[in-house]
């Protein structure tokens, strides 16, 4: 039986996986330094949409940082958990995790606990 924090973590991990998957490094030719912080216009977005996007990006960056600071195999467990949650399937596995389902479930459970504590301390949850 899942409690509220587990449901919240599942939602955050699903959104984080989609956010991280959509990231693309800037592969354009270098621009004039005066325009390095320029962003395209968002004339069709409301103020609320712009603020919501900024909050979402800040939150996902915090999740990304907290996950990157975790040690393997817990980090690998979070990556696989997030991918499974995002796709709605439980088919993805990692070679960094144990083959034994009981051992793997223990590591995933410990990784969830670690990440929940990290995100609570960071103010994300």
Q: Residues 42-101: pLDDT tens digits?
A: 566 677 777 888 888 889 999 999 999 999 899 999 998 999 898 887 777 777 788 888
Q: How far apart are CA 1 and CA 83, in angstroms?
A: 21
pTM given for the model:
0.73
Structural domain boundaries in the chain: 72-125
Average pLDDT over residues 96-118: 90
Q: How far apart are CA 76 and CA 111, in angstroms?
A: 9
Q: How far apart are CA 121 and CA 75, in angstroms?
A: 18
Place of tokens 């410990």: 110
């Amino acid at each position: 039986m899942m409690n509220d924090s587990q449901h919240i973590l599942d939602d955050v991990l699903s959104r984080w996986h989609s956010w991280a998957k959509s990231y693309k490094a800037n592969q354009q030719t270098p621009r004039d330094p005066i325009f390095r912080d320029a962003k395209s216009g968002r004339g069709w977005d409301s103020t609320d949409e712009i603020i919501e996007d900024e909050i979402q990006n800040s939150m996902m960056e915090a999740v990304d940082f907290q996950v990157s600071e975790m040690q393997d195999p817990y980090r690998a467990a979070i990556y696989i958990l997030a991918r499974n949650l995002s796709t709605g399937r439980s088919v993805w596995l990692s070679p960094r995790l144990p083959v034994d389902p009981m051992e793997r479930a223990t590591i995933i459970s410990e990784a969830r606990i670690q990440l929940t504590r990290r995100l609570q301390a960071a103010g994300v949850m």
